[in-house]
Structure 1
């Protein structure tokens, strides 16, 4: 049992490293605002198109920035869940057959 726990911790560390290397992006207003994050849901960069920024008001930029951030974090969450599901399946196999599923 202790071995399984240690293995799970090691695998989780490996997944975290892989997720650090994954890049996802969220876009708003047709790409005028782009937010890039890694698979661990850490924002890496924000890009705002200069022409858009010059013409937009503060509230518009703030609203669209929130949209782009949320889209990037949603993508990161999807990648993270997929990686964790794959790790769990690799560690424990397809246990669904044990329970008649």
Structure 2
């Protein structure tokens, strides 16, 4: 395989990776905690877009528990966003997707 062909393939893969990254910005995942008492929505990049709390999640005498639940839900959303990103990159680019995904 000549170097020109390799460079051309790399450029195509980079363009496709940029398209996937743009697509991830419009996709969303939902993380939750406390059996659904708290839900956190994030886009495919892991950026938090919203938080929903059910009224029964709020106990003014135990704010520490609420803080813990929010943290767990945020981490869950970010983990799901990371998994979505890896899945999309792998689906669109095959093995090279995982390598390129770390670059964006």
Q: What TM-score results when the alignment is normalised by the length of structure 1?
A: 0.78
CA RMSD of aligned residues (A): 2.2
Query: Larger deviation: 71-80 or 55-64?
Result: 55-64
Structure 2 unaligned segments of length 5 or more: list them.
1-5, 98-104
Spell out the pairing of 1:25-44 with structure 2 (5 A cutoff): 25-44=30-49
Structure 1 unaligned segments of length 5 or more: list them.
93-101
2: CA distance between counterparts of 1:56 and 1:87? 49
Inter-CA distance 74–50: structure 2 relative to 1 (3 Å threshold): same
Indicate yes or no: 2:93 matched with 1:88. yes
Indicate yes or no: 2:81 matched with 1:76. yes
- TM superposition outliers: structure 1 runs of 4+ over 3 Å: none
